[in-house]
Every structure is written in structure tokens, then in C-alpha cells.
Amino acid sequence: MIGHGLGGYFVRRLLGSAIMLLLVMSAVFFADRQIGDPARMVLGVAATEEDVRELRERMGLEDPLWVQYRRFVLGMVQGDLGDTFRYGISKPFAHGGMPESRKTLPIAAERLPATFVLGGVTIVFAILVALPLGIYAAMRPRTAGDRTVNVLSLAGVSIVEYWFALILILVFAVQLDWLPTSGYGTPAHVILPALALSLRPIGRITQIARSSMLDELAKPHITAARGRGVPITRIASIHALKNAAIPIVTTIGDETVNVVTGVIIIETVFGWPGIGALTVDALAIRDVPLIEATIFLLVLIVLGINLVIDLAYMALNPRVRLR
Amino acid sequence: MAGRNSRHALRAAVLGVLALAAGPAYALGGGGELVIVANQEPQSMQAQVTYKEVNGVGLRNVIEQLTRLDPRTNEVKPMLATRWEQVEPRVWHFELRDGVTFHDGTPFDAEAAAVSINWLWNPENNYSVREMMGPQITAEAVDAATVAVITAEPDPLLPRRIYLGGVTSAKQILEDPASHDVHPIGTGPYVFEEWKQGQYWTATANPDWWGNTAEDPYGEIFFDRLRIVWRPEPIVRAAMVESGEAQVAMFLTKEECGRFDAKDGIKCIVKGSDTFLQFRLDYHGAAPLLADPRFRKAIFTSIDWEGIRLNLMGLGEALQGQMLPSVATGFHDGIRQYPYDPAGARAIVDELKAGGADIPSVHVSTRLGSTPRNGEMVEAMGAMLTSVGIPNTVAVEEPGVFNPRAVSKPTPERAYAWLHVQANPLMDYGATFGAHFSCGGIVSVFCDPDFDARVAEAASMTGKERHEALRALVKEGHDRYVVAPVGLLQRAYGVPEGFAWEFGPDHRIVAVNMRMN
Amino acid sequence: MAASSSVSRPGTTGEERQARVTARDLAAALARDWVVLLAVVFLVVLVAAAVLAHLLMPYDPLLPNIFAGRRPPFSETRGLDGGVQLHLLGTDALGRDMLTRLVYGARASLSVGVVAVAVSAVIGTTLGLFAGFLGGRVDTVVMRTVDAFQAVPSLLVALFVLFIIGGGLVNMVVIFALVRWVVYARLARGITLSYRESSYVEAARSIGATDLRIIFRHILPNMFSPLLVLATLEVALLILAEAGLSFLGFGLKPPEPSWGLMIARGREYLREAWWMITFPGLAVFLTTLSLNLFANWLRTITDPVQRWRWLI
Amino acid sequence: MAGAAGTARHPAQGERAGAVLREPLLEVEHLVKHYPVRGGLLRPGGGKVVRAVDDVSFVLHRGETLGIVGESGCGKSTLSRAILRLTEPTGGRVRFAGEDLLQLSRREMRARRRHLQIVFQDPFASLNPRMTVAQIIREPWSIFKGVVPRPEWDRRTAELLVQVGLSPDDAHRYPYQFSGGQRQRIGIARALTLNPKLVVCDEPVSALDVSIQAQVLNLLAEIQEKLGLSYIFIAHDLSVVRHISDRIAVMYLGKLVEIGTWQEIYETPAHPYTQALLSSVPVIEPEARGERIILKGEVPSPLAPPSGCRFRTRCRKAAAVCATEEPVLETRGAVGHLTACHFAAPREY
């Protein structure tokens, strides 16, 4: 049974994620067909029936639904999620009957690096802050320090992110003039948005780190180690942390996924040119193909994160056999 | 604020060193990069977008037109055309400036100008700039330096109207029309560099700009580079100027403006615009009662227009119950803003109800981000309508929902009101009626063939006669409760202290009219 | 309890402790922890105020008085009826009393949270219970669905669906219920699985109890406290989600006085009228913090081992 | 109830009170319970099964107590649950009062449960901690309406509590407020509420302190005497069942290896496994039992039981035939009761 090993598991998991992605995108595909004629939406109410029909043909909307769906799925396999007729283009028929359009997936994929930078910095920062806090609290349970950490971490998950983001801009960019208000490009630009996004992960990871460390520290072998006179910080870092790692890693994964959702608002506030801001733009102009592309990538990222977390989980605890 | 000053000093020093090191490539410039923070990203970079400043902020630095408006007098002045005359009632000849080239190196001549003009106003293309068009415009080359612009009907406003149409490379239009959407190639003082969607677009100073050597340039190049960024949050826009990240922050609120003026190092520039805020109630609603002048009067008098203007619109001037200010052709001095009379409005509603009428629900919508606090305004309007017994819904709609409707022609399904901004740089009711009050108008709210006929008649007139004819139509429109003007907007910009900027009511963000002292 | 050491079956001690917790114990424990006590008092006051808003609040939450807009806290204005109005927390841009709107906003925000949580908890718990209890194909179908839902972040799904069907209170509740039921299903299934094979469920079966009876009499009561904890956390989460979606324009629609909408509106006045964004922001913060503190405490009180934490 | 002394192969025990009625109450024939081993989505379990109960047959008479003994994991608990259909058997027949329980629908089976009750091993886990004693005892009455009419509930609850040695006042207390022995009494009371004909006692005392074990066993014996029920009494060693069983069955890896009367099993055990079990029971006169037999090795995995005789891997008498031929449960040679061993013989001391 072990012969199938990690590789087999990885392949199965990958297959599962692909099926998941297909399901989600199929749901998105059929949902999108419910919000009215995309061609009419592109051309506006003033366009003639003839123009609309021409664009519908060009968009493939005149085909039976199953043909459209098949094309959609096949396109997805080839990394083609269709064309936008709106983003960066305001009149599809502006060029002598040849409708202009652009592929959506490259437009959306171009935004990924910025989101990865922001998300990565956020999560790394959150881990660096949260782990020591959680361990600190766990080693002094029920003291004032523990209670403070507890309330602070709960406060972190209770705050409205964009509200906090605006306060950060006011304080650090305007009043103190330490950091740029918004934008993208230098390391200084990432600090405020990452700070705004990291509050929730810091809170959650601290909570989990604290409670799983508490569980671990209560176990007999730790008590025994203490009895042998091993210093408490060493106990925390070596003995307990290793065992407490699984719930912590799971939470880090969950929070990374939450950050992916969080960027939608935070990127807009900070003018951060990531996929989140693009999603908001696409929603605002009701650019259905572009929305599909952004959702595709966001779901792909989330599935990827889940996969990585599962593998980390397996690596940490080889005995755990997942379905 | 010592910190900020020293920081600015440092910044200036660094820039100075950089400028020295690079050495001026041409005599002008040396002002470093100009960063403008707008409230929204351009939806495209087409030449037609230049007709409205908010849809393509800064595009006028790359794309020029045949004529321009003088910032001080608002008169039509030469730009790419040096002279023009009406050779026939329907034909105008424009004599073109010599030695101008597009940024792609192709020469600007009559042939190129004709291609560009025909492209812009082409009914096939159906660009929204057509809302500003009177009779259909076409163009053809007369000789190398003269282009003829022909209108379907006589159009006395043409030299002013032609100022709205940006001129771009004919080579691009003919050979690569797709890139016209995203890569503007004009003749302006700045050469388009790149549009990083979601982030910024940039342009660099044009050493070969005709204005560098011409006798009558409309400005001079001070800034070496141009960068346009966008932030939807007003506080972020303001903060960017405060922290020195940008030099021009668009559309501050009245209160922000006051704060900027009170603070060292930054200031607020306020200027009246040609943009007015209006409330329109469609005349062709599904509910028959919407066509009843009594009901329309009830709606128009249930809203406290002056209260909304003073308390919510912020910076702006009153309008006298009509869309354009007193300088406009056709202005009627005999009418006043619709009075606020909730008791009277309620009485009408009660009377209609007593007569067995079914009061329809009115939907009041506005577009996200079109002007500060429009959400509050529609909310106030909704509450005021409710208080006189008119059911309603209000909404701030995303551009994707609002825009297609805003350019729709009247249909019987339309039974809604909207609050929106409209620019009328022509300051002439002929143009306003054409867009808003005619059956074929691209943003029309009103359709009455008889009214249309009289508008068409007035549009071909000139002088006093035109004024009187339009004036009568203004009065009629007012009495039919079609459009309630809320106010003429003033736009406010946050800039650093020492920033000089000369601009007219059209509020074009033209870098050659700006400098940093 | 003394004899419990001779019992090896895991979980038994947890049951013991749960069974021992009485209302009085809870009250005593609460009184010892003043931070949580404050949170509970805040929540009680908030719910009472929200329910009784129309009795407690003298002003209209919707009627604008545009000449009295943006007044700072403790201002007095002349109302539309000519009377003097005192605004403890100031007025908003349309001159409406902030406190009144906050209290009515509590109604909207709490009802979004509570109704959606109630609906999703009922759906999720039922499905999880039956999946765990019946096992086999039902379990496979339900759990695969749960996995599918959990693979996609629910806020993203909510955003997309609200984009398709439009915002508003009812749609929001429906969407939240549809995307959040999975957390209850997981929890309920986990608990059901751990009790399904337990001796006392077997004992119930041996006396001829039907499946329904076993579920309702013997399994469901064990879920009560973990479900309560989870539901409390979920209310907090949904209040935050409401704020986020309203910010993007896909949540509640004006003129409804919701906290999310008030924050979204207030952000334009951050500099000149700090109270317009600060108070609704604080309302959301304090409410979610209180809910989180309460849930955290409840969890510790009812199950010190935090066994079921794994089930979320 | 009177001394209708049995004849044939099952002589009644003289010293045990009560007599064994000849009428069979429960007939178990070829009962089989297999558990399939589950594999993953893409890796099925290969059709492997755990043979927890493998072809078990026996008869239980009215008023009789059958002890079933075996090491933990031998399938005795599964057997008891399969008989009661608390787990669905894979095959075989369970005839209760002449009716095959396995043929009944779930609904019909529920109706029969009135007569078939069980007392569980773990007195802590088998009582719902959220219910009071009264609620626990009365739950069967609310399921089988009419057995005890509602007005009688209070009186009957008190009676039952007294009968199992508790106080009527205990009715409103919760299980956690009782000691282990007391809880087991509650469990017994619950098993008696419906006047069952058969009670399966699944190691009812193994979780209790030794001092309390005797009390509970005596209580069970008393109740049997009074009510004339039949017991299947499961235990993992022979000492416990000794005092309460009329007959004893010994189980090893899902199969019965020996079955006989109290005397036959204790005095002339014929299967090496039974002998080994007996030798480990502490007795007052150790020399009477002879040298202690230590079982070699571990119980083999039920997934892959040894071929032939399942006990052969640990058996001191094992020979070649044991690996090839599975011994049948039958009487052989000098042994008057059923054994499943090729070399069955009373132990020579």
C-alpha cells in the first residue's frame, strides 16, 4: 500500500483539484449565462439588433449551449478562457466590422506576480509575528501576558480590513510620512497593504499556535523533559513545536486562502495592481469573460495552496493517510 | 511639517542632480516627473475619449485637436489648425499647421486629418462622442494643408465642436485599428509610453513637439515625464499629494479642499467647470402617470434642490432651473430653480391618489464615482420622495450597469430617474438639446418630434435669432419637468504649494499649462 | 468522577465535564473573567437595543435633514419638526442621527448574521448528522459536496453570486446560508461519527429506538455546545463579510442602515468627519470581538481539550 | 421453573439454583459476520474481510445462562451484537422463540427488541450523560407504548431501582453522580424495564472493581431466579462465568472451540485452548489445576487466520494435520461434549 506512496497520492490529489476546478468553472459558466445577453451588455442598449447578432456570432453565443460549454471546457484545458470585448476596449465594432477583442487569461495572469508578492509578504509576516506570540502565550497560560495575547489576537480577526487599511494610510503615510500611501513598485509599497491584510492571519495563527502548544506542553513527555531540567524555551521550540505543527500548518493554509479573498478589497484601496483589483474592475464594468478568467485564477491559486498544505501535512506526519 | 519640507528639499536636490547628469535633450523641460492621480482608470485610449476629461485623464497631452478653447476667455483658438472659415453653409475649411508630425513619424497633413475626423464621427463606430455632435460630420482633404469638414446640415458651432475630436495617426487607423484602443499616437507635447493596466500610464516629453518652436504654443514643456495613476478612494488621492507621491489629486471634496488650503506645503485649486450635475426623469416611462405633468411636478417639487446643492454637492454654483449658466446661448433669465414644496407635492400626490391613480415607484440611480457624494444625494432624494408619498428605490450602480443605460435611447420600458454629470463645453443649448431632448439623441431622455423639429430649426440659426429660438425651447423644457439641474460643478484639485496651472472650464489636464515654482 | 480513571474510552471525560456544567457554573465562571463578562454584557445590550430600536430611538433612521449633516458628537440640531435634537454620536452626511442609525444598523447586521447562521446551521447540521449517521453513499455525496464547497473561498463565491443575482438583505442571507452550511456539516458529521458507535447509542438501539429517536435524543444534544461556539464565530464572520461586500457595492443597498454600508460611506469623510466611519467601524469591531471572545470562552468552558477544534 | 431435570448431554447442575427448561429459546445456526476491509478511492481493499464471527452455532434454552468466553478480539462481542442484530450478520440464522430474527425487517426487528436486551461492558459510556436515571429507564416505555402505562411509570421506576439495589430517590440524578457499580445497576435496570426473555450481558463486570463484580453478578443471578430469564454472559476469562453459567462456550478467533456444561468445561476441558484459559484462572487450590499453561505468541490477525485449526499456531499439541484440516465442533472419543480439536482429550495432570 505504501508502494503507491506520496507520488500516487500527489497524482490523485492533482486529479481531484482538476475536477474541482472544472466543477467550479462550469458553475460559473452557467451562472454567467443567467445575467443577460453578454453581447448586448458589451454593445449597450443603443446598438442595433444586427450588431448584436454579429457580436453574438463572434462570441459564439449563437451555438447551442452544449457546444458553447464544450468550447469553454476545451479552451480551459488549453489555457484559453475566451476574449474580453470591454477591458481596454470600449467599442468592439469600432474597426470596420472587425470586432476587436483580447484574450482574458493573459490579462489576468499578468496580475498574478503582484498578488503573489503581497500575499507572500503578508503570510510570512503573519507567521513571523504569530508563532512567537502564540508560543509565548502558551508557555505562560492564564497569566496577564497570555490574556493580552488572546484578546489582541481575537481583536485581529474582528477588525474590518479596509477600515484598518484607511487608518494605516492616514497614520503612516499622511501623518508620519514614513511610507507611500499606495501603489506598487518598491519594497516600501508593500508594507501597508500587507499590514492591513495580515491582521486576521496573525490573530488566527496566534490562537492556534497557542492552543496546540498548550496541548503539546501538557503531554507527559514534555513534563518529563522539564523534569530532566531541559530549559523551557528549548522544550517549546524542539519538542512541542514539532508536534504542534500540524494544526498550525493547516491554519496557515486556511489563512493563505483567506488572504486570497482579502486582496480583492485591499488591492483596490491601495491601488495594488494584482488580480484582486482586476476582479473588482471586471465586476464594475460587468466584463463577463474577464470575470471568468479572474475567478479561474483565484480558484486555481486556492486549490494550489490546499494541495501544498496537504503535502506539507503528509510530510509532517507520514502516518496520516488521507483519503 | 519640517520633516516634509526637508524631504521635499531632498527630493528636489536629487531630481536636480539627476537632471544635470542626464543633461537636457532639448531646451525645455527639467521639471521631472508629473504624477496625476485620477479617480478611475481609462476604459480605453481611443482618440474619442479625449472629449471627456474624466474618462481618459491626461490623454490630451498626447492627442491634440484642430482647435482649442482659450482657458481665460473660452474662445476658440488655433491648435493643429491655424485658420478656418465657413466656405459654404455646410462646409468649413481648416488650414493646417505646417511641419507637424505624429509620434509614429508620419506627417500630419490634410489626408491624415480627414481620416482621423471621419473615423471619430463615423456612425458605424458609434463612439459616445457623437452625443456632442450636431449634424453628421465628415471630412476630406482639399489640398495638402487644407481639410474640408462637411456637416449634413449647417452647423454654426462647428469650430467649437471640432475641438472635441482628437486627431491621431492615420497610419495607425488604417493599418492597425486595434492598437488605436490602447496605444494613442497623436501630435502632442508628450509621447505615449505605456499603459500598465491596473497601475498607470506614462508619457515622455516630446522633443519634436511643434509647440517648442511655434510662435503661438498653448504652453511650454516643463515636466519631463507624465505618469497618470488612479485611486478610487478620495482620501488616498489626497494623501498622495500630501506625501509628495503625486502633484495633482483629482476631485477633492469641499472639506478636503479647505483642509489643503489650511495646511503648509499643499493647496487646493478650485475652478468652475462646464460640467453640470443633473437629475433626469424619463418621459417615456411604462407607467402612464409618469407622462402626467402634475405627477412630474410633484416629483420635481418634492426635492430640495438647493439643499442638496449646498449641503451635499459641495463645490459648485447654482443653476437657474436650466442646465447651462447665463453665458450660454439660449439661456433663459426668466426661470428659476424648481421650488422645494413638499406640502404642494404631497397635495398633488394625494389628489392623484384620490382620483384613483396608481402611484408608480420611481427608481433613482447614479453612477459609482461620477462625482463626490452622489450616493448621499440619491439617498436624500429617495427619502424626500418617500416623505411626499412617492414610492421609490435608489441605487449607486457600477459603470457596467449604469453606462449602457445612460446612452440608451428612450424606450417604453424606461421608467427611471438618474442623477448624473454632463459636460457641455459648447455652452450652447443647441448642442444640449441635440443630446438630451431629441428623439435620436444618444443620451436622450425626452422624445417629442415637434420639439425636435424646432430644435433643428434653431440649430441652423446664428446670433440673436438662435438665442431667442433656443430660449423659448428652454422655457418649454423647464415647464415639462424633464431635467432638474442640481448645480454647475466646480472641480477641486489638491496640488503642492507653488504649483501653477492655468486651465479653463473644460478642466483639461494639460501638462504644458502646469509648472512647479 | 473518581472512577473515571478506569475508563479507557476516549471522549468520556469530555462528556463528563459537559454534563457537569450547569447554568450556575457558567455564571460563576463568567463573573471571574471580566473581559468576557464585558463582551457578554455588550452583546446583550446590543441585541436588546436592536430589537427595541423603534422604542428606544427617538429619531428616524432614514429621514434626512440635509442642513444638519456632519455634525460632531454631542451636537444639537433643529429637527425637521422644529424640535431640538441631541446627537450623542453626531450626524451623518444627510443629517441623520448616527446613534439611531447604528442601532438600526445593528438590526440589519445582526439579522444578516443571525438569520444566515440559523439557516446554514440547520441545513449543515442536518446534512452532517445524516451523513455521519447513515454513512455509505449519503456520507460520500454530502462530504464530497462539502469538500467542493470548501475548496473555494466562500466570500469569493458570495461576491460572484451577488454579482449575478444582485445584493440586498434577503439575497445576502440566502447566499451566506448556502456557502456556510458546510462548516456545520463537517462539525455535525464529526460529532455524529464519534457518537454513532458509542455504547449508549448502541444501548438506545437495543431498546428499539428508531434512527430518528437516536439522532434527536442521543446524538443531537451532544452537538449543542460546539455548534453554539461555531455559530457564534460564524455570526462574527458574517458581520465582517457583510461589511466587505457592502464596501464593494454587492451587499446591502442604501438607504438601509447597515454597518457595512455606513463604513463604506464614511470612508469619504475619514478626515473631516471621523465619527462617520469610526463609530460603525467600532460597532463592527466590538461586536465581532465580543462574539469571538464569547465563543472562545464558551469553547474553553465546555471542552477544555478543544477536541472538536479539528472538526471545523 | 421447578426441577424438571434435564437429561441427555446436558445434565442440570445440582448446586445451581433453578433448572434449565428444555425448551430452546435461542438457536444460533452457522452465524457469520464478516467486516470488509475498506480501501481508498483508487485502491480497493482487495476484497479482504475480517472474519469476526465465523460459522457459530449453539442453542440457548429458556431460563438458561450460556457463558461465552474468549480473549479480547476473539469475536465474542461481535457475536452478541450479531445475535441482537445491533450489527447485521453476514449469514446464518438466529431463531428466537422459533422465529428467524435475520429474516425480519428493521421495523419488525425493533418490535422484537422488547424481548432481547443487553447490558454493556462499560457502565460509563453506555448511559447517556445528558439523561437522568428516570429518563434512561423510561425511554424503552416511551418506545414500546403500553408495556407500562404512563401512570405506572413512577411506581415501576422505583420498583426497578429497588430491584437492582438502588434507591427510588436516585431516579432524578444523572449517571455521573454514581459509581461504576451503581451505574451498571442502572444499566441492568434499563435492560429489565421491558421484561425481556433474553438478556445479553457483554462483560458487564469487567470494568468494575473486583469487590463490586461479585455484587453485580449476584444481582444478575437473583434477577434470573426471580424472573426466569435467559442470559448470554460474555466474559474474557473463565472465573467470572463460572458462578453464573449453566453452560459455557469457548471462542477463539471467531469460532467456538468447545461448548459444554459448567462441569464439563471446568472439570474435563478437552480443548487445549480451554485448558490454557483454565490454567490461568486463579483458584484456591492451585495444585488441582496442575501446571500453568502459558499461551505462546499473540492472537493471529483475523484478516489472515491460520489455515486448518486456527489455534494451531499457539497450540502445544499442534501437528501436521492441524494445518490442513479444520477441526469440526463435535463430540469425539472420550469427550462427552462438543470440541473442535483433532486431539481433544481431557487434560492429564
Query: CA torsion angle for A234, A237, A241, A243 (degrees, to 10)?
Result: -40
Q: Which pLDDT belongs to residue B286?
A: 64
Q: For the ranges A50-64, A217-231, B367-381, which has the lowest average pLDDT?
A: A217-231
Structural domain for B309, as ranges: 273-489
Q: Above 60 in pLDDT, residue C71? A: yes
Q: How far apart are the C-alpha atoms of D126 and D128, rounded to whole Å?
A: 6
Higher per-residue confidence, A127 vs B236: A127
Among A71, A49, A45, A91, residue whose Cα is nearest residue A292: A71
Higher per-residue confidence, D296 vs D7: D296
* CB < 8 Å to D207, chain C: 6-7
Please tell me if residue D2 touches chain A, with a CB cutoff of 8 Å: no
Q: B108 pLDDT band (50/70/90 cuts)?
A: very high
Residue type (1 letter), A261: T
Q: Above 50 in pLDDT, residue D15? A: no
Q: Which pLDDT belongs to residue B27?
A: 47
In a domain, D267, yes or no: yes
What percent of chain C is predicted at pLDDT more than 70? 88
Q: How far apart are the C-alpha atoms of D248 and D241, rounded to whole Å?
A: 8
Quickly tell me which residue has 416611462 as its cell: B285
Q: Which pLDDT belongs to residue B344?
A: 96
The separation between CA C108 and the C-alpha centre of its own chain, rounded to angstroms, equals 13
Higher per-residue confidence, B44 vs A202: A202
Sign of the dihedral defined by the CA atoms of residues C154, C157, C162, C165, in that order: negative
Average per-residue pLDDT in chain D? 81
Q: D7 pLDDT band (50/70/90 cuts)?
A: very low
Q: Name the most confidently modeled range: A236-250, B5-19, C45-59.
A: C45-59
CB pairs < 8 Å spanning B and C: 65
| Smallest Cα distance from C75 to chain B, Å | 17
Residue type (1 letter), B132: M
Please tell me if residue B361 touches chain C, with a CB cutoff of 8 Å: no
Please tell me if residue B387 touches chain C, with a CB cutoff of 8 Å: yes
Which cell goes with A261? 479573498
What percent of chain B is predicted at pLDDT more than 70? 92
Pick C20-311's CATH classification: 1.10.3720.10, 3.30.70.3340, 3.30.9.10, 3.40.50.1820: 1.10.3720.10
Query: Which are the contacts of D6, defined by CB distance < 8 A and separation ≥ 6?
Result: D12, D19, D20, D22
Higher per-residue confidence, B22 vs B349: B349
User: Domain residue spans in chain C?
Assistant: 20-311
Sign of the dihedral defined by the CA atoms of residues B93, B98, B101, B106, in that order: positive
pLDDT in tens, B143-190: 999 999 999 988 888 999 999 999 999 999 998 887 888 899 999 999
D168 DSSP 8-state letter = G
* CB < 8 Å to A107, chain B: 197
Helix (H, G, I), strand (E, B) or coil at C128: helix
- Residue range A112-273 forms a domain whose CATH class is mainly alpha
Q: B414 pLDDT band (50/70/90 cuts)?
A: low
Higher per-residue confidence, A100 vs C123: C123
Arithmetic mean of pLDDT, B10-37: 60
Arithmetic mean of pLDDT, B464-476: 92
Q: How far apart are the C-alpha atoms of C157 and C161, rounded to whole Å?
A: 6
Q: How far apart are the C-alpha atoms of B461 and C291, rounded to whole Å?
A: 72
Residue type (1 letter), B400: G
Q: Which of A2, A6, A12 to mutate to test the interface with D (most CBs of D within 10 A)?
A: A12
Reduced 3-state DSSP string for chain A: CHHHHHHHHHHHHHHHHHHHHHHHHHHHHHHHCCCCCHHHHHHCCCCCHHHHHHHHHHHCCCCCHHHHHHHHHHHHHCCCCCEECCCCCCCCCCCCCCCCCEEHHHHHHCCHHHHHHHHHHHHHHHHHHHHHHHHHHHHCCCCHHHHHHHHHHHHHHHCCHHHHHHHHHHHHHHHCCCCCCCCCCCHHHHHHHHHHHHHHHHHHHHHHHHHHHHHHHCCHHHHHHHHCCCCHHHHHHHHHHHHHHHHHHHHHHHHHHHHHHHHHHHHHHHCCCCHHHHHHHHHHCCCHHHHHHHHHHHHHHHHHHHHHHHHHHHHHCCCCCCC
Among B188, B199, B474, residue whose Cα is nearest residue B324: B474
Quickly tell me which residue has 462481542 as its cell: D77
Query: CA torsion angle for B369, B373, B378, B382 (degrees, to 10)?
Result: 150
Q: Which pLDDT belongs to residue A91?
A: 58
Arithmetic mean of pLDDT, B330-337: 92
Q: How far apart are the C-alpha atoms of D200 and D221, rounded to whole Å?
A: 13
Q: How far apart are the C-alpha atoms of D82 and D327, rounded to whole Å?
A: 24
Residue type (1 letter), A2: I
Q: How far apart are the C-alpha atoms of C250 and C252, rounded to whole Å?
A: 7
Q: How far apart are the C-alpha atoms of D87 and C139, rounded to whole Å?
A: 19
Q: Which of C207, C215, C303 to mutate to test the interface with D (most CBs of D within 10 A)?
A: C207
Q: Name the most confidently modeled range: A171-180, C169-178, D141-150.
A: C169-178
B266 strand-pairing partners:
B496
Contact C64 B379 (CB under 8 A): yes
Average per-residue pLDDT in chain B? 87
Chains B and C touch (3+ CB pairs under 8 A): yes
Contact A323 D43 (CB under 8 A): no
Chains D and B touch (3+ CB pairs under 8 A): no
Quickly tell me which residue has 510620512 as its cell: A177
In a domain, D347, yes or no: no
Q: For the ranges A115-124, B279-288, C20-29, which has the lowest average pLDDT?
A: C20-29
Q: Which pLDDT belongs to residue D288?
A: 54
Residue C92 has a CB neighbour count (10 Å cut-off) of 30
Q: Above 50 in pLDDT, residue D230? A: yes
Integer CA distances (angstroms), D27 to D61, D97, D101, D192, in order:
9, 8, 10, 22
In a domain, D313, yes or no: yes
Please tell me if residue A166 touches chain C, with a CB cutoff of 8 Å: yes
What percent of chain A is predicted at pLDDT more than 90? 28
Among A224, A249, A223, A268, residue whose Cα is nearest residue A320: A249
Q: Which pLDDT belongs to residue D126?
A: 85
B247 DSSP 8-state letter = S
pLDDT in tens, A151-205: 999 999 999 998 899 889 888 987 888 888 888 888 999 999 999 999 999 999 9
Q: A234 pLDDT band (50/70/90 cuts)?
A: low
CA max distance for chain A: 86
Q: Which pLDDT belongs to residue A81?
A: 85
Q: For the ranges A193-197, C1-5, C88-92, which has the lowest average pLDDT?
A: C1-5
Query: Is residue C130 a contact partner of residue C108, using CB atoms and an 8 Å limit?
Result: no
C-facing residues of A in 16-55 (CB < 8 A) are 17, 20, 23-24, 28, 31-32, 34-35
Query: Which are the contacts of C248, defined by CB distance < 8 A and separation ≥ 6?
Result: A264, A265, A280, A283, C159
Contact A285 B398 (CB under 8 A): yes
Among C196, D93, A266, residue whose Cα is nearest residue C204: C196
Total tally of structural domains belonging to chain D: 1
In a domain, D42, yes or no: no
CB pairs < 8 Å spanning A and C: 103
Report whether the peptide linkage leading into residue C255 is cis, meaning its omega lies within 30 degrees of zero: yes
B139 strand-pairing partners:
B149
D293 DSSP 8-state letter = P
Query: Is residue B511 a contact partner of residue B202, using CB atoms and an 8 Å limit?
Result: no
* CB < 8 Å to A32, chain C: 164
CATH 1.10.3720.10 domain extents, chain A: 112-273
Q: Residues of D208-237 as b/e, b for ≥16 C-beta within 10 angstroms?
A: beeebbebbbebbbebbeeeebbbbbbbbb
Total tally of structural domains belonging to chain B: 1
Residue type (1 letter), B437: F
Reported as half-sphere exposure (CB side, CA atoms, 13 A), residue C83 has a value of 6
Angle between helices A288-316 and A275-284 (to 10 degrees): 150
Q: For the ranges C135-139, C228-232, D314-318, which has the lowest average pLDDT?
A: D314-318
Burial of C296 (0-12, 13-18, 19+ CB in 10 A): buried
Q: Above 60 in pLDDT, residue B19? A: no
Q: Above 60 in pLDDT, residue B20? A: no
Integer CA distances (angstroms), C190 to A155, B66, C17, C141, in order:
29, 75, 19, 15
Higher per-residue confidence, B389 vs D204: B389
Q: How far apart are the C-alpha atoms of D123 and D335, rounded to whole Å?
A: 39
* CB < 8 Å to A215, chain C: 305-306
Q: How far apart are the C-alpha atoms of D17 and D222, rounded to whole Å?
A: 10
| Smallest Cα distance from D89 to chain A, Å | 27
Among B105, D133, B235, C41, residue whose Cα is nearest residue A168: B235
Contact D143 C9 (CB under 8 A): no
Instruction: Supply the pTM of this predicted model.
Output: 0.83
Average per-residue pLDDT in chain C? 83
Arithmetic mean of pLDDT, A21-28: 89
Average per-residue pLDDT in chain A? 83
Q: Which pLDDT belongs to residue B338?
A: 94
Structural domain for D98, as ranges: 4-37+47-339
Q: How far apart are the C-alpha atoms of C15 and C277, rounded to whole Å?
A: 46
Q: Which chains touch C (3 or more CB pairs under 8 A)?
A: A, B, D
Q: Which pLDDT belongs to residue D43?
A: 45
Q: Which pLDDT belongs to residue B308?
A: 93
Q: How far apart are the C-alpha atoms of A80 and A62, rounded to whole Å?
A: 19
Q: Which pLDDT belongs to residue A31?
A: 86
pLDDT in tens, D22-56: 788 999 999 999 887 654 444 444 567 788 888 89
Q: Which pLDDT belongs to residue D289?
A: 54
pLDDT in tens, D118-142: 998 888 788 888 888 999 999 999 8
B-facing residues of A in 110-169 (CB < 8 A) are 110-111, 166, 169
Q: How far apart are the C-alpha atoms of B187 and B193, rounded to whole Å?
A: 14
Q: How far apart are the C-alpha atoms of D264 and A2, rounded to whole Å?
A: 49
Enclosing H/E stretch for C247: helix C220-248
Please tell me if residue A98 touches chain B, with a CB cutoff of 8 Å: yes
Q: Least CB-CB distance to A271: which of B43, B181, B229?
A: B229
Which cell goes with C208? 428499539
Q: For the ranges A86-100, B363-377, D93-107, which has the lowest average pLDDT?
A: A86-100
Q: How far apart are the C-alpha atoms of A105 and D219, rounded to whole Å?
A: 78
Please tell me if residue D42 touches chain A, with a CB cutoff of 8 Å: yes
Q: Which chains touch A (3 or more CB pairs under 8 A)?
A: B, C, D
In a domain, D82, yes or no: yes
CATH number of the CATH domain containing B348: 3.10.105.10
| Smallest Cα distance from D42 to chain A, Å | 8
